[in-house]
């Protein structure tokens, strides 16, 4: 079993890293503290062939693999952590679901502007009373002629997106859930007052007041929930890749600092306490990397990978956050300062332990796989109706 990159993968990684050094190193700190999504980089990423990597050529993408997209995220994040968001948005999440299930007309109107770097797409799934319990969503799609009227609210999406993939309820139960595409500016669609995550990035509530969606903008009708949620296996690979890449960035910065910084007349790396800290960090980082690469590689080969992507997300989220935290400890006041990217990576990586499926939900899913049975988190029916 060969754990090294192929020659093509090594060449691709080198090319992406060199591109990042040339174009993204300058301004990386300022970019991290911008509130809005760095959409100005999308055209550049498109020209470099870094958008739509995982999407089939017949659907307008590059026909690459999940491993290619993981490599791109890693190499970009090692130079400019914030710019990895652009790679994520152009290769994982809503864009993959859209590419897989859209009609040719929908791909032309919604997918291609994203892949060309012209527009930003976001998922509108979470609601005020439906987070991990996604099937509790109450945003409704009521028939109106040939189309539907959308009514409800969503929370936490990017308020600066141009288009949204919106989870809606066409009818009762899980089988009643599907999704529609809605553009900003559509009558009845309102973006609420922006708020901020701990990372500094913006989010805002979305309100749908009888928004009319024509039949041509229905992505998945009733019964499409399982198709939509299956896309989270790939989404978790993107989430895990960013979390671990941020951790590796901080590890590298802390290592350089420990080599150069002196206290008591000695370089920090000469103190055994730090030597052991870095040894543990390195071991955990490489273990998480192996889980990530296994999940991505097996998913590319079409093997069942739900448990592998779950383990990769669980491990990479925890290790990535630990690496950022330890790097702050090593670098002291400088690591804690906004004059370095370490504290940004710390704040950002904390959010990925919630987004895309919380660590608790990942453990629940793994337990189901271990015991080969479903564990409902809902109370028994007699208890719920008591």
Q: Tell the residue number behind the tokens 């793994």, with chain if given.
A: 366
β-bridge mates for residue 263, sequence order: 266
Q: Is 127 within 8 Å of 153 (Cβ atoms)?
A: yes
Give the tens place of pLDDT for each residue, 317-327: 999 999 999 99
The predicted pLDDT at position 384 comes to 52
- E strand or H helix at 121: strand 121-124
**Per-residue tens of pLDDT for the chain, all 386 residues:** 778 899 999 999 999 999 999 999 999 999 999 989 999 999 999 999 999 998 999 999 999 999 999 999 999 999 999 999 999 999 998 999 999 999 999 999 999 999 999 999 999 999 998 878 888 999 999 999 999 999 999 999 999 999 999 999 999 999 999 999 999 999 999 999 999 999 888 999 999 999 999 999 999 999 998 888 877 777 889 999 999 999 999 999 999 999 999 999 999 999 999 999 999 999 999 999 999 999 999 988 776 478 999 999 999 999 999 999 999 999 999 999 999 999 999 999 999 999 988 999 999 999 999 999 989 888 877 655 55
- d(C-alpha 7, C-alpha 385), whole Å: 61
Bridge partners (DSSP) of residue 262 are 267
The phi, psi pair for 144, rounded to 5°, reads -145, 100
b/e 101-132 (16+ beta carbons within 10 angstroms → b): bbeeebbebbbeebbebebbbbbbbbbeebbe
């Amino acid at each position: 079993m060969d754990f090294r990159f192929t020659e093509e993968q090594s060449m691709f990684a080198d090319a992406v890293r060199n591109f990042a050094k040339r174009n993204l190193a300058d301004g990386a700190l300022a970019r991290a503290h911008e509130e809005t999504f760095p959409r100005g980089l999308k055209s550049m990423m498109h020209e470099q062939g870094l958008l739509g990597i995982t999407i089939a050529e017949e659907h307008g993408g590059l026909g690459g693999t999940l491993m290619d997209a993981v490599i791109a995220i890693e190499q970009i994040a090692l130079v400019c952590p914030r710019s990895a968001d652009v790679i994520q948005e152009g290769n994982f999440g809503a864009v993959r679901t859209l590419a897989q299930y859209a009609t040719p007309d929908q791909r032309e109107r919604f997918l291609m502007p994203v892949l060309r770097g012209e527009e930003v797409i976001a998922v509108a799934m979470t609601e005020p009373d439906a987070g991990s319990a996604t099937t509790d969503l109450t945003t409704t799609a009521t028939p109106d002629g040939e189309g539907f009227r959308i009514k409800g609210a969503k929370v936490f999406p990017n308020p600066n997106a141009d288009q949204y993939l919106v989870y809606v309820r066409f009818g009762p139960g899980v089988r009643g859930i599907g999704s529609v595409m809605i553009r900003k500016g559509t009558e009845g669609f309102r973006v609420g007052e922006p708020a901020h995550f701990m990372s500094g990035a913006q989010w805002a509530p979305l309100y749908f007041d009888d928004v009319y969606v024509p039949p041509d903008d229905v992505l998945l009708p009733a019964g499409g929930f399982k198709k939509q949620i299956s896309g989270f296996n790939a989404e978790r690979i993107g989430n895990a890749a960013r979390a671990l890449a941020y951790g590796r960035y901080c590890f590298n910065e802390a290592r350089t600092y420990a080599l150069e910084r002196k206290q008591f007349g000695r370089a920090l790396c000469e103190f055994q306490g730090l030597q052991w800290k870095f040894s543990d960090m390195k071991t955990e980082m490489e273990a998480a990397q192996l889980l990530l690469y296994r999940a991505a590689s097996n998913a590319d080969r079409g093997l069942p990978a739900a448990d592998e992507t779950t383990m990769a997300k669980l491990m990479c989220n925890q290790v990535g956050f630990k690496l950022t935290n330890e790097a702050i400890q090593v670098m002291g006041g400088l690591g804690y300062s906004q004059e370095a990217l370490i504290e940004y990576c710390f704040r950002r990586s904390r959010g990925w332990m919630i987004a895309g499926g919380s660590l608790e939900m990942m453990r629940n899913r793994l337990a189901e796989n271990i015991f080969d049975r479903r564990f409902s988190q809902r109370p028994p029916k007699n208890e719920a109706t008591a």
